[in-house]
Structures are given as C-alpha cells and as structure tokens.
C-alpha cells in the first residue's frame, strides 16, 4: 500500500514538513517494501490554491493516506474527494512516521487542522 | 477631473485626506473604493438612497455530463477548480469569474451562476454625492466590486476616489483612468518604503501625482528629501495635533473641528489643478 508523507528533504531520513500545500517534498512510500519516490512540490510558490493543487497531485498518485503536520480546508476537501485519508499532527523523520503508520498508531482526521493560508509566507 | 487618494499602506490618513478634500471644494462626488474596509461614510454620514448587490459569474459543474478530463482545471489560472478521479470541486472563493473553464469544457458540463460578492451603495450629504462598495466578509475578489462602484462615477463633477491601501490588483483597478493621484504618507522609514513602492506603480500607470505628508512633524526629513530629489511636489503637510487625532477617533471631520484647515485643503486642490 502506498502513502504520502510531506517532507523537508528528498529521502526517508528527512524530517516531516508540517505544511501540506507548500511542503518541500512529497514522499510516496510503499509501506511494504519501503520503496519510495520523492516529488519536489511544484506548488510552493503558487499565488493561491497551493493546497488544492497539491491535493490533486497526491490524489492522482493513488495513495491511501497523507501524513503531515497540518492541512487547510481546501486541501482537505480535495483529498477527501480524491478518496485519500488525511492524518495530521505528525512529526519526526519520514521513516519513523511510516513505521508508526504501519503499527496502526496514527488515525485519520475528519477535519482540516488549520484555517486557509496557513502555509503562506513560511519558508 | 478624477482625483485618486492612495497610500502604500493602511493607516496613513488616506481617508481623512479624501474626506476633507471632498468637503472643502464645490461640486464633488466621493467614491470610496476601499471595498474591504470602506470607512469614508463614517465621516461623511451620507443618507443612502440605493443599495445594489454585485455579482460575479462562477462555474457550476454538472457531474452527470463531466468526464473528468481536467481541461477546466488546467485552464484556471487561480487554482479554483480541482478535478479528481470521480469528482470536480469548485472553490468559489478563489474564482475570479473569468469564464475560461465554462468556455473550454468539451462536454458543456459547466454552467455559470451568479455569486454575490458584495454591494454598492449610493447616497448624498448636502451637495456631496457619495458612493461606496462593501465586499462580503470572507470574499477576496475586490476588483469586480471596485469596477461596479466606478460605474456610478459622475463625470460632471470633481470625482475623489478613496483607493484601497497597498500596491496590488485592487489598487490598480481603483486608480485606473484617474487624472491625478494624491499619495498620502507618513515621514517614517516604513512610510517612505511603502511610498516608493506606490510611486513605482503610479509611474507605470503614467498618472501625475503629488504627496501629502501626514503627521509631518513626528518623523524624519527623509521623505521630504526624497520628494525634492525626485522632483515630486509635496502638496500639503498635516502636522500631528491632538485635536485632529481626537476628531478622527470620534468620526469627526478635521475641517469642522479646525475650520482653518479648509483653506489648506483648497490650496491642495488648486495645486493639483495647475
Ligand atoms: S472540462 Fe468539463 S468535462 Fe472536463 S473535467 Fe472540467 S467540467 Fe468535467
Ligand atoms: S471562471 Fe475562471 S477563475 Fe473561475 S474557476 Fe473558471 S477558469 Fe477558474
């Protein structure tokens, strides 16, 4: 099964990026084999709608869940419509997060965790 | 003649200048285009005669006709549409109402529907004609509303336009087609920085302009020096006065509390005319 973790770097030892729409990288990991793909986020500097664009990008990758720090309402809605579970409030290295997820320690949220524009202006 | 009153940032006294100028000269129409936070009416206290809602057209997707091809999302410059495998989402608050998605949808699945973004009110106070727009809370698309306010412009009068603060799209929309722009600033380092940004914009629009320095005695001389160096006329200097600050906080007008200022505003006007 594939999941996506937002990350500050391009490998499994990188730290989680707490923003969704404007994170540095999306790491798409196969939870069984730990094979992964690091996608540099093309939406970091989007004027608006970064969460929506990122949401579509990730939904298109057929992942079961997204694990990140925070998700705004537009991104949340997009991910839900794309059938992707959203898990917020995670931190640590990507690898640790994947392990926790596999053990079933992380539960999806039913609500966006922050208001609009949360990730704006942070680098 | 259309005179814009603008400032690179909020809180410089832009509305104070617009309102007092409007009340110091004859045959005026005041348009408050600061639609996110219109407050000229607090000072003018006009009687409102008419209120008109303003709409933009936003897309509505008929999901039974949509094949999820994604054309609409590709063409949207504002990321206002998301196309997923089995769903299309429209984020109305991001939509600029450009109509591109509906035009390009190959399945004819997009219909355009009205969305109210705010309203325009027109009224008067004595011989002053007044109009302003108010954007709905949470609504971000101010340019169409500013355009709607400007449609009520009366060219037989001297029109004074209160411009939103800053230097972004709404400012350009509001300032367009003015004959002159009065830039209100404060003589502080931040004030000067924002003034220079505003001047860059006005120069690009090729509109003649001059500067009013508010709270002129509180800051430093750098703003004046800059204007002299750049050959920019300083139209007026308003000192910091307790009476002015108090009048402002009570929603009163300077020229009513301190009638000697009426002349200063008339002089400001004659400097613009020449
Ligand atoms: S362009 Fe039309 S058919 Fe294609 S996804 Fe958008 S609404 Fe559906
Ligand atoms: S009308 Fe224009 S801005 Fe609005 S969703 Fe369609 S393409 Fe985007």
pLDDT tens figures, B152-173:
999 999 999 999 998 888 999 9
User: Residue B94 domain-assigned?
Assistant: yes
User: Residue B180 domain-assigned?
Assistant: yes
Beta bridge partners of B56: B115
**Between chains, do A74 and B73 touch, taking CB under 8 Å as contact?**
no
Based on the fold, state whether residues B41 and B166 are members of the same structural domain.
Answer: yes
Based on the fold, state whether residues B47 and B157 are members of the same structural domain.
Answer: yes
User: Residue B113 domain-assigned?
Assistant: no
**Residue of B157, B154, B124, B161 lying closest to B19 (CA atoms):** B161
Band of residue B192 on the pLDDT scale cut at 50, 70, 90: very high
**Residue of B10, B14, B2, B23 lying closest to B261 (CA atoms):** B23
pLDDT of residue A120: 66
Based on the fold, state whether residues B78 and B150 are members of the same structural domain.
Answer: no
- In chain A, which residue's Cα lies nearest the Cα of B80? A49
Based on the fold, state whether residues B221 and B92 are members of the same structural domain.
Answer: no
Atom 8, ligand 1: residue with shortest CA distance: B66
**Looking up tokens 């990288």, which residue turns up?**
A25
For chains A and B, CB pairs below 8 A equal 40
Q: Is A72 at the interface with chain B, CB within 8 A?
A: no
Band of residue B111 on the pLDDT scale cut at 50, 70, 90: very high
Domain made up of A2-102: CATH architecture: 2-Layer Sandwich (3.30)
Average pLDDT over residues B195-213: 95
Ligand 1 centroid to residue B240 C-alpha, Å: 59
* Residues of chain A positioned with their CB less than 8 A from the CB of B78: 47-49
Mean pLDDT for chain B overall: 93
pLDDT of residue B248: 81
Give me the CATH number covering residue B175.
Answer: 3.40.50.300
pLDDT of residue A75: 95
Separation in Å, CA of A75 to nearest CA in chain B: 10
Band of residue A119 on the pLDDT scale cut at 50, 70, 90: low
Based on the fold, state whether residues B99 and B149 are members of the same structural domain.
Answer: no
Based on the fold, state whether residues B27 and B135 are members of the same structural domain.
Answer: yes
Residue A121 has pLDDT above 70, yes or no: no
What pLDDT, in 10s, does the model give residues B250-273?
A: 888 889 888 889 999 999 999 997
Residue extents of the structural domains in chain A: 2-102
**Between chains, do B82 and A47 touch, taking CB under 8 Å as contact?**
no
Partner-chain residue, chosen from A53, A59, A82, that has the shortest CB–CB distance to B79: A53
CB of B76 within 6 A of ligand 1: the answer is no
Based on the fold, state whether residues B44 and B135 are members of the same structural domain.
Answer: yes
Instruction: Please give the ipTM for the structure prediction.
Output: 0.79
Give me the CATH number covering residue B96.
Answer: 3.30.70.20
- In chain A, which residue's Cα lies nearest the Cα of B85? A82
Ligand 2 centroid to residue B217 C-alpha, Å: 49
What pLDDT, in 10s, does the model give residues A38-84?
A: 999 999 988 888 999 999 999 999 999 999 999 999 999 999 999 99
d(CA B95, CA B93): 6
DSSP states of chain B: -EEEEE-SSTTSSHHHHHHHHHHHSSSEEEEE--TTS--HHHHH-PEEEEEEEEEEEEEEE-TTT-----HHHHH-TT--EEE-SS-EEE-TTT-----HHHHH-TT--EEEEEEEEEEEEEEEETTEEEEEEEEPTT---HHHHHHHHHTT--TTSEEEEEPPSSSSHHHHHHHTT-SEEEEEE-SSHHHHHHHHHHHHHHHHHT--EEEEEETTTTS-SHHHHHHHHHT--EEEEEPP-HHHHHHHHTT--HHHHSTTHHHHHHHHHHHHH-
DSSP-assigned letter for residue A95: H
pLDDT of residue A122: 54
Based on the fold, state whether residues B148 and B87 are members of the same structural domain.
Answer: no
How many distinct structural domains can be found in chain B? 2
Based on the fold, state whether residues B86 and B173 are members of the same structural domain.
Answer: no
Average pLDDT over residues B30-57: 95
- Report B:67-96 residues touching A (Cβ under 8 A): 73, 78-80, 82-85, 87, 89, 91, 94
What pLDDT, in 10s, does the model give residues B51-70?
A: 999 999 999 999 999 999 99
Give the domain extent around B74: 63-108
Separation in Å, CA of A72 to nearest CA in chain B: 13
pTM above 0.80, yes or no: no
Based on the fold, state whether residues B68 and B179 are members of the same structural domain.
Answer: no
pLDDT of residue A123: 43
d(CA A31, CA A3): 7
Residue B232 has pLDDT above 80, yes or no: yes
**Residue of B148, B193, B187 lying closest to B167 (CA atoms):** B193
């Amino acid at each position: 099964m594939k999941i996506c973790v937002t990350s500050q770097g391009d490998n499994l030892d990188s730290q989680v990026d707490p923003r969704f729409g404007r994170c540095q990288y999306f790491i798409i990991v196969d939870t069984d084999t730990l094979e992964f793909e690091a996608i540099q986020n093309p939406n970091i500097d989007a004027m608006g709608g970064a969460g929506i664009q990122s949401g579509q990008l990730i939904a298109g990758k057929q992942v079961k869940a997204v694990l990140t720090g925070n998700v705004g309402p537009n991104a949340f809605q997009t991910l839900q419509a794309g059938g992707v579970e959203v898990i917020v409030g995670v931190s640590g290295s990507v690898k640790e997060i994947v392990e926790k997820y596999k053990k079933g320690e992380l539960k999806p949220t039913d609500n966006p965790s922050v208001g609009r524009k949360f990730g704006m202006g942070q680098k | 003649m259309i005179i814009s009153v603008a400032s690179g940032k909020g809180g410089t006294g832009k509305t104070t200048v617009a309102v007092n100028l409007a009340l110091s000269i004859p045959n005026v129409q005041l348009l408050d285009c600061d639609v996110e936070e219109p407050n000229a009416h607090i000072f003018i206290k006009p009687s409102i005669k008419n209120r008109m809602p303003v709409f933009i057209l936003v897309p509505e997707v008929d999901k039974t006709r949509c094949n999820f091809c994604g054309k609409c999302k590709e063409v949207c410059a504002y990321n206002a549409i998301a196309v997923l495998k089995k769903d299309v989402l429209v984020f109305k608050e991001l939509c600029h109402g450009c109509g591109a998605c509906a035009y390009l949808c190959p399945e004819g699945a997009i219909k355009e529907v009205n969305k109210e973004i705010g309203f325009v009110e027109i009224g008067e106070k004595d011989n002053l004609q007044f109009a302003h727009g108010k954007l709905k809370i949470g609504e971000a698309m101010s340019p169409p509303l500013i355009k709607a306010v400007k449609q009520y412009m009366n060219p037989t009068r001297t029109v004074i336009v209160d411009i939103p603060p800053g230097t972004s799209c709404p400012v350009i929309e509001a300032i367009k087609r003015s004959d002159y722009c009065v830039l209100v600033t404060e003589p502080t380092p931040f004030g000067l920085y924002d003034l220079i940004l505003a001047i860059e914009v006005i120069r690009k629009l090729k509109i003649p302009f001059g500067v009013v320095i508010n709270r002129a005695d509180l800051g430093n001389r750098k703003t004046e020096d800059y204007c002299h160096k750049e050959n920019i006329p300083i139209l007026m200097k308003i000192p910091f006065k307790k009476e002015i600050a108090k009048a402002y906080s009570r929603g009163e007008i300077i020229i009513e509390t301190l009638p000697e200022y009426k002349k200063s505003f008339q002089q400001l006007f004659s400097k613009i005319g020449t």
